[in-house]
């Protein structure tokens, strides 16, 4: 399963809106007979690649797959049927498919065909890899990461979508990698009008390995961490035999980089057609309360209700993005939207890059929040990770419940 998760992670930058899925066929004599991972929506599922690679050796074999095999006819036929036809004896699954079209029916179908099914193996790692897909399926909205940049005293100098305060190129490359992984970047009209950011992946592009070399496949900035969530199962902990195994036949060693969707929340539709954020290359969403606004070419207008202040109603905006098949968003914005998202409890994870400098009390804070009458009204967070990225600190935190 550790290997299947590694394979699934190869789709980290390319499977949206589909989940990242990996599969390994192990023959009765304990050899890996086939491997596969899902590469792009509309193309074959992980199980199909793995079964194809295994051929006749799938008969009587064990199939390790990071997501329950599907039971529905989507863009591709049901994988559960392919597993049954291939003569697999046992299927080991990391997590159930939260897609209501599947949701246990794939497992039922396998069991009905007499296949032994085990579930929940390395489930936490699988859920983490697909936190965006799971969020969209279960909550109808994307997983939201709010990225902020500040001085050590928590101050920011600019309205900054593109974080002009971040001087270190390491931190910038890290943010570009996060944009690629999230698959969508969201900001406010205020930030667009102030900074005219592109919000595309540029610095990271050269760091994305497109070669066939196994060693260079996992995209990772120096010192960075997502893959070490799988770290305990990295190559070094696998048996030498597994380590020598070749990559899957299909799409061998290829990582597809897709530019992230770009999303602008713009209540009164003020962002001009020539804003850089609308430049071509990805899906672009203009979320506004004005249904009469004329969207620039290639930009999709999502009209949502206004809140009591006349701004975009945030829960409605994120629900609309869920409907538009956005799994995960990286929010890069100024203090106003940051504060509003935190107050609306729409932030799942907070990333704060802290530069080694002090801006003093005249500079603005990170998130605009109403003044507190009592300390127990404070917004509580829990740190989940701290690391150094170049000269900066990167702190990951999650809001506490309640």
Q: Shortest Cβ distance from residue 86 to ligand AOF (Å)?
A: 15
Residue 324 interacts with ligand AOF (CB under 6 A)?
A: no
DSSP state of 306: B
The minimum distance between CB 188 and ligand AOF, in angstroms, equals: 30
**Which of Zn ion, ligand AOF, none does residue 248 bind (CB under 5 to 8 Å by kind)?**
none
Provide the minimum distance between the beta carbon of 82 and Zn ion in the complex, in angstroms, as a whole number. Answer: 8
**Which partner, ligand AOF, Zn ion, none, binds residue 74 by CB below 5 to 8 Å per kind?**
ligand AOF
- As a whole number of angstroms, the distance between CA 253 and CA 292 comes to 46
Does the annotation place 246 within a ligand binding site? no
Q: Closer CB to ligand AOF, residue 136 or residue 262?
A: 136
Q: Phi/psi at 206 (nearest 5 deg)?
A: -70, -20
Answer yes or no whether residue 51 interacts with ligand AOF by CB under 6 A: no
Q: To 10 degrees, what angle do helices 105-112 and 79-86 make?
A: 20
- Given 5, 46, 173, 186, the residue binding ligand AOF (CB under 6 A): 46
Instruction: Using the minimum distance from each CB to ligand AOF, give the nearer residue, 46 or 192.
Output: 46
Q: What long-range pairs does 229-234 form, CB within 8 A, spacing at least 24?
A: 229/125, 229/128, 230/2, 230/5, 230/6, 230/9, 230/125, 230/129, 232/2, 233/1, 233/2, 233/3, 233/5, 233/6, 233/122, 233/125, 234/6
* Site residue total, ligand AOF (CB under 6 A): 15
Q: Scanning the structure block, which residue is given the tokens 């929506």?
A: 41
Site string for Zn ion, 59-98 (x = CB under 5 A): -----------x--------x-------------------
Contact 31, 55 (CB under 8 A): no
Shortest Å distance, C-beta 38 to ligand AOF: 3
Which of 12, 38, 177, 233 touches ligand AOF (CB under 6 A)? Answer: 38
User: Pick the catalytic residue: 47, 170, 328, 349?
Assistant: 47
Is residue 19 near ligand AOF by the rule CB under 6 A?
A: yes
The stretch among 18-26, 163-171, 280-288, 343-351 that binds ligand AOF (CB under 6 A) is: 18-26
Active site residue 224: no
The region, left, alpha or beta by phi > 0 then psi within -120 to 50, assigned to residue 120 is left
**Residue 67: left (phi > 0), alpha (psi -120 to 50), or beta?**
beta
Residue reference for tokens 């960075």: 224
- 136 scored as a contact of ligand AOF (CB under 6 A): no
Q: Report the nearest approach of Zn ion to the CB of residue 11 (Å).
A: 13
Residue 130 binding result from ligand AOF, Zn ion, none, given CB thresholds of 5 to 8 Å by partner type:
none
Rounded to 10 deg, the angle between the 79-86 and 46-54 helix axes is 20
Number of neighbouring beta carbons within 10 Å of residue 270? 15
Give whichever of 50 and 79 is closer to Zn ion, judged by the CB atom. 79
- Non-local (6+) Cβ contacts of 277 within 8 A are 187, 192, 196, 197, 198, 199, 262, 264, 271, 284
Find, among 362, 359, 332, the residue nearest to 347 by Cα. Answer: 332
Candidates 4, 54, 67, 302: give the one binding ligand AOF (CB under 6 A).
67
Residue 67 binds which entry of ligand AOF, Zn ion, none, CB below 5-8 Å type-dependent: ligand AOF
- Is residue 78 involved in binding ligand AOF (CB under 6 A)? no
The footprint of Zn ion (CB under 5 A) covers 45, 70, 79
Residues placed in the known binding site for substrate: 163, 179, 202, 332
Q: Which residues are catalytic?
A: 47
């Amino acid at each position: 399963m550790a290997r299947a998760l590694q394979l699934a992670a190869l789709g980290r930058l390319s499977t949206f809106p589909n989940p990242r899925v990996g599969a390994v066929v192990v023959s009765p004599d304990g050899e890996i007979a086939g491997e596969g991972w899902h590469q792009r929506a509309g193309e074959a599922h992980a199980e199909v690649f793995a079964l194809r690679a295994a051929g006749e050796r799938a008969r009587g074999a064990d199939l390790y797959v990071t997501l329950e095999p599907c039971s529905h006819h989507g863009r591709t036929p049901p994988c559960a049927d392919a597993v049954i036809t291939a003569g697999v004896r046992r299927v080991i699954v990391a997590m159930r498919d939260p897609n209501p079209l599947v949701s246990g029916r794939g497992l039922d179908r396998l069991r009905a065909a007499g296949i032994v099914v085990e579930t929940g193996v390395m489930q936490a790692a699988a859920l983490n890899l697909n936190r965006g897909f799971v969020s969209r399926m279960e909550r109808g909205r994307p997983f939201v990461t709010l990225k902020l940049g500040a001085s050590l005293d928590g101050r920011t100098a600019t309205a900054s979508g593109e974080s002009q305060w971040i001087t270190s190129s390491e931190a910038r490359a890290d943010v570009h990698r996060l944009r690629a992984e999230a698959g969508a970047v969201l900001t406010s009209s205020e930030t667009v009008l102030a900074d005219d950011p592109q919000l595309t992946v540029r610095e990271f592009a050269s760091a994305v390995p497109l070669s066939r070399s196994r060693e260079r496949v996992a995209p990772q900035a120096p010192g960075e961490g997502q893959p070490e969530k799988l770290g305990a199962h990295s190559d070094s902990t696998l048996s030498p035999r597994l380590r020598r195994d070749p990559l899957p036949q299909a799409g061998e060693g290829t990582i597809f980089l897709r530019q992230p969707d770009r999303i602008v929340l713009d209540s009164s539709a003020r962002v001009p057609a020539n804003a850089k954020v609308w430049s071509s290359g990805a899906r672009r969403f203009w979320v506004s309360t004005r249904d009469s606004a004329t969207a620039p070419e290639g930009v999709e207008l999502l009209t949502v209700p206004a809140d009591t202040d006349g701004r975009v109603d945030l829960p409605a905006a994120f629900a609309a993005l869920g409907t538009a098949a956005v799994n995960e968003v990286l929010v890069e914005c100024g203090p106003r939207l940051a504060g509003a998202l935190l107050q609306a409890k729409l932030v799942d994870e907070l990333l704060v890059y802290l530069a080694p400098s002090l801006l003093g009390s005249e500079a603005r804070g990170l998130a605009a929040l109403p003044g507190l009458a009592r300390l127990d009204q404070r917004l509580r967070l829990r740190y989940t990770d701290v690391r150094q990225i170049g000269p900066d600190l990167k702190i990951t935190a999650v809001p506490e419940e309640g």
